[in-house]
């Protein structure tokens, strides 16, 4: 068996350098993983929300989403579908908007972008709006238009 002699010269400095480099890379990886991936698009964004019985209550979809800051997403081409909570759930209404801000923890969506809302017997639009996932309603605030007793073909612009 060959013996290995370690000298205090170049070999020890190389080992210390490699150890420091390894620790630096580990700290960099840990710091990177703890930071959210801001401004990186999430293609094909989907956020389904279920009730305690396991039924889908509503679902937000988007072409893409970007994390703006902690717990706030900017979603492009948002589509929102809300369902009735029955034994056989039906679509209560759906809405579309060019963009929206989504807060997954509070189950809320809002926007300063035009939204179009289509229901069984109504159509509505607004420019500033909020959706509360717990209340399952859209609050329209500015430039609101509502058409009642019409089907999709009759009242969509």
Same domain, 24 and 81: no
The pLDDT value given to residue 35:
53
Same domain, 12 and 78: no
Q: Which single residue is written with the structure tokens 């009730």?
A: 51
The pLDDT value given to residue 21:
46
The pLDDT value given to residue 59:
93
Q: What is the pLDDT along the chain (157 residues), one digit of tens a residue?
A: 555 455 555 555 665 555 454 444 444 444 445 555 667 788 999 999 988 888 899 999 999 999 888 889 999 999 999 998 878 888 888 999 999 999 988 999 999 989 999 988 888 999 999 998 776 788 989 889 888 877 656 565 5
Q: Where are the alpha helices (DSSP H) in the chain?
A: 10-34, 152-155
| C-alpha atoms less than 13 angstroms from C-alpha of 37 in its C-beta half-sphere | 6
CATH number for the domain harbouring residue 117? 2.60.450.10
Same domain, 101 and 26: no
Same domain, 11 and 75: no
Same domain, 19 and 81: no
Q: Tell me if the pTM is above 0.85.
A: no
The pLDDT value given to residue 148:
87
Reference 81, options 67, 68, 91, 89; nearest CA is: 91
How far is it, in rounded angstroms, from Cα 66 to Cα 75? Answer: 7
Same domain, 71 and 20: no
Q: Is residue 1 part of a domain?
A: no
Same domain, 75 and 13: no
Number of domains in the chain: 2
Same domain, 54 and 102: yes
Same domain, 32 and 90: no
Same domain, 114 and 52: yes
How far is it, in rounded angstroms, from Cα 17 to Cα 87? Answer: 66
The domain in which residue 122 lies consists of 42-155
Name the pairing type of β-strands 145-148 and 72-83.
unpaired
């Amino acid at each position: 068996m060959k013996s290995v002699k370690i000298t205090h010269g170049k070999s020890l400095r190389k080992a210390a350098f490699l150890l420091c480099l390894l620790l630096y890379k580990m700290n960099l990886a840990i710091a990177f993983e703890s930071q959210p991936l801001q401004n990186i698009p999430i293609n094909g964004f989907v956020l389904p929300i279920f009730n305690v019985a396991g039924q889908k209550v509503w679902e937000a979809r988007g072409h893409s989403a970007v994390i703006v800051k902690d717990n706030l997403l900017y979603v492009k081409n948002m589509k929102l579908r809300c369902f009735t909570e029955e034994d056989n759930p039906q679509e209560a209404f759906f809405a579309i908007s060019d963009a929206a801000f989504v807060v997954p923890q509070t189950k809320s969506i809002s926007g300063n972008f035009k939204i179009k809302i289509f229901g069984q017997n109504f159509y509505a639009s607004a420019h500033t709006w909020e959706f509360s996932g717990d209340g399952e309603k859209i609050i329209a605030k500015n430039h609101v238009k509502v058409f009642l007793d019409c089907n999709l073909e009759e009242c969509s612009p």
